[in-house]
Structure 1
Amino acid sequence: MEMVDRYIYAVTQKLPESQREDIALELRTLIEDMLDDRAGERDVTEEDIEAVLIEMGSPRELAQKYRGTKNYVIGPELYDSYILVLKIALIATAATIIISFLGQVVVDPTRVIDHFVGCIVSLVTGLPTALGWTTIGFAIVGYAGASDSIDLYGGKDWKPSKLPPVPEKKRQIKRGETIFSIAFYMFLLALFAFSNEYFGIWIFKGDGFNGVVPFLNTGNWNAYLFLFLIFGFGIIKECLKLIYGRWTVQLVIYTAVVNVLSFGVLLLLINGPTFWNPDFMQQLAQTEYFAAGSEAYDTVEIIWEQLTMWIVVFMAVGLVWDVVSGWYKVRQGK
């Protein structure tokens, strides 16, 4: 009955998670009854099973019947993943903005009212933005038909014998890992969108905060756009992993394409207008902690000069390993 298991898995994976167990039991009972009627007194054969499953229809068509109406922005096959990613996006955005507000209050308590107003404005603009982009992204996936191509369970020429097996544990993608990755990317997006001026070396003099020597060129918004694209590609990749739930050749190809795009944007970023603060070392030398010629200053200068190169190297290695690891898990699960 392996073919029956594969068929039921193919149908239920397109349904809301809360309905899957009941519908799986209902389908199994229905299929067994149809097989008994077809086979009569003789033993059930593989041909009987295939004929019954074809009679029931493709997994995609059957799942659509269980779902009912098709008038939706986010398809039911993507809805659970959409809600999960939306929760992550909203929580990560809100948490980043609130943490940023608390940090500002700690380092500069004299402007607490200004910081509070800025926090409210950021929440009012940031949360709807996270909601909008998440919804648009999943809507595009649904209307482009990508959700259908993910499973390949439908079509006029489908055959039960060609249904993919229930994935082994080696090929399964842990939801916890993808959830953490999406939350991390959303945290970085919110951080650079609402608190980029605090991304640098914090200077304290006397009893208080005396400003930040920023790592980034805060006036170059084109560079920030490239940075947001890199984070956005990362979120897309993790969402695909969440939707698939298992490593497949198709997912490896999608991952490779997204990683190539991410690396291409990184190269455009570092070769375009200055992304890093061009006056970083000069501003650092003006502080009493990093006087020019000091050991600490020389160390920071070496790190600063090599920073771009090492970011490119580490990102290239990480993106290649992401694809190689996925391909290895696909081969390992066969």
Structure 2
Amino acid sequence: MDLIERYIYAVGQKIWSKNRKDIEEELRSILYDNLEEISDSGEADEEKVKEMLKNYGSPSQVASRYGTSDKYIIGPRVYDAYVFVLKIVLIVLFILTTAGVIISIVTQSSDVHLGIRILELIPRYITAFATGLGFVTIVFFLIDRFDKGEESELAKEWNPDKLPKLVKDNDKVRRTGQIVSIMFVVLAIILFNAYPERVAVFYSDGSGWMSYPSLSKKALEAYLPFWNVFWGISLINSAILVRTGKWNTVTRTVKWANSLFVIGILIYMIAGPGIFNTDSVAAVSDATGQELKEVFKVLSTIMRFVYGIVALVVAGDIGYSVYKYIKDRH
């Protein structure tokens, strides 16, 4: 019955556990067994089904039965997603920090004992992991506290008539994927706006390792405002998708428009200034005695070719998504 399926869907939306499907099946079995009991003969009328669901409890109450009543920073509803995202963020931070540690060990004076250098670098790992843990925890804390959807409304006056409509499979959102996207967009915004010099060219001048910023200041001034607009729209859209748990016409249109905007940025980057810092290339060439300009010219050409390929891929993705959307609606 549609009303029962809508009820099960509403409960499932409030459970982030990896066992959600099993919980939904268990709940479905219980409800249909109860339905048979209240049916005198044949199929129970809608009013009896509504009364049964009212007595069973609101979706938020039912979902809470599969968790605990303890106090916690990250609730059981989002805990599995929290652990999944945290693992990804910590792995990425470990890789980036390790790369930085290796560079630091190589560039430091060889007069310092290796053991001392390693001990001095341990705080980098602690700081990176603490930052990642804190950032992910804050994001999920806010999601858990404010992403109630229709929960408060259903809990106030629990009525089966207020159950959300079933969502098609193609309209469902993988919230964990959207949260991962939010994390990396935020990291990109921080890196390119606050620490662009960290993206550097490293080289050895014979006495030690040196570095120069690898990104062109002129290119960043030209492209970064557009990147920030794209990232900002992506953040807002992803936040809405995490909040609602489903795609709709507005969020899809925003995604398509933002993708078209990306194509425009890529075309601009193909015709605009090169992304690499030519001053750094000249400095490295002078310090090492190696002619690197030709190498970077080839690399710049390759990058423009990559921009074009990415633009075509994005255009293809838009076309396929629009086709699927129109097909599903007819």
TM range (shorter): 0.5 to 0.7
8 Å CA contact 1:90, 1:127 repeated in 2: yes
For residues 147-169 of structure 1, give each alpha carbon's deviation from its aligned partner in whole angstroms, at most 9, with x where no partner exists.
4259997664652674224x42x
Q: Does 2:138 align with 1:136? A: yes
For residues 3-37 of structure 1, give each alpha carbon's deviation from its aligned partner in whole angstroms, at most 9, with x where no partner exists.
42332232133235255456435433442343234
Q: Which residue does 1:77 correspond to in 2?
A: 77
Look up the SS of the partner of 2:149 in the other structure. Answer: helix
Q: Which residue does 2:87 correspond to in 1?
A: 87
CA distance in 1, matches of 2:319, 2:53: 36
Task: Rate the CA distance shift 1:318–1:187 in 2: closer, same or farther, 3 A.
Answer: farther
Shift of residue 183, structure 1, vs aligned partner: 8.1
Task: Rate the CA distance shift 1:126–1:113 in 2: closer, same or farther, 3 A.
Answer: same
- Aligned residue identity for 1:7: Y
Of 115, 118, 121, the residue aligned with 1:116 is 118
Q: Which residue does 1:271 correspond to in 2?
A: none
What number of residue pairs does the alignment pair up?
311
Shift of residue 331, structure 1, vs aligned partner: 5.3
For residues 243-297 of structure 1, give each alpha carbon's deviation from its aligned partner in whole angstroms, at most 9, with x where no partner exists.
876544475478689999x9xxxxxxxxxxxx985843542452422377xx446
Shift of residue 81, structure 1, vs aligned partner: 1.6
Q: Which residue does 1:44 correspond to in 2?
A: 44
CA distance in 2, matches of 1:182, 1:190: 12
- Aligned residue identity for 1:159: D
8 Å CA contact 1:215, 1:276 repeated in 2: yes
Task: Rate the CA distance shift 1:158–1:49 in 2: closer, same or farther, 3 A.
Answer: closer
CA distance in 1, matches of 2:228, 2:92: 15
Q: Does 2:99 align with 1:99? A: yes
Shift of residue 40, structure 1, vs aligned partner: 0.4
Q: Which residue does 2:289 correspond to in 1?
A: 288
8 Å CA contact 1:93, 1:186 repeated in 2: no
8 Å CA contact 1:97, 1:191 repeated in 2: no
Task: Rate the CA distance shift 1:210–1:153 in 2: closer, same or farther, 3 A.
Answer: same
Deviates more, 1:152-161 or 1:62-71: 152-161
Q: Which residue does 1:63 correspond to in 2?
A: 63
Q: Which runs of 5 or more residues in structure 2 are unaligned?
A: 218-223, 263-274
- Aligned residue identity for 1:130: G
8 Å CA contact 1:88, 1:182 repeated in 2: no
Q: Which runs of 5 or more residues in structure 1 are unaligned?
A: 219-224, 263-274
Look up the SS of the partner of 2:94 in the other structure. Answer: helix
Look up the SS of the partner of 1:102 in the other structure. Answer: helix
CA distance in 2, matches of 1:211, 1:174: 43
Look up the SS of the partner of 2:211 in the other structure. Answer: strand
**Once the two structures are aligned, what percentage of the paired residues are identical?**
23
Q: Which residue does 1:214 correspond to in 2?
A: 213
Q: Does 2:35 align with 1:35? A: yes
Q: Which residue does 1:272 correspond to in 2?
A: none
Task: Rate the CA distance shift 1:297–1:187 in 2: closer, same or farther, 3 A.
Answer: closer
Task: Rate the CA distance shift 1:177–1:322 in 2: closer, same or farther, 3 A.
Answer: farther
Shift of residue 97, structure 1, vs aligned partner: 0.9
- Aligned residue identity for 1:90: L
CA distance in 2, matches of 1:240, 1:12: 19
CA distance in 2, matches of 1:322, 1:164: 26
CA distance in 2, matches of 1:232, 1:131: 23
> TM-score, normalised on structure 2?
0.62
8 Å CA contact 2:58, 2:154 repeated in 1: yes
CA distance in 2, matches of 1:153, 1:318: 43
Task: Rate the CA distance shift 1:71–1:258 in 2: closer, same or farther, 3 A.
Answer: farther
Look up the SS of the partner of 1:17 in the other structure. Answer: coil
CA distance in 1, matches of 2:200, 2:118: 22
> TM-score, normalised on structure 1?
0.62
Deviates more, 1:85-94 or 1:181-190: 181-190
8 Å CA contact 2:189, 2:231 repeated in 1: yes
Deviates more, 1:98-107 or 1:247-256: 247-256
Task: Rate the CA distance shift 1:175–1:135 in 2: closer, same or farther, 3 A.
Answer: closer
- Aligned residue identity for 2:149: D
CA distance in 2, matches of 1:13, 1:245: 8
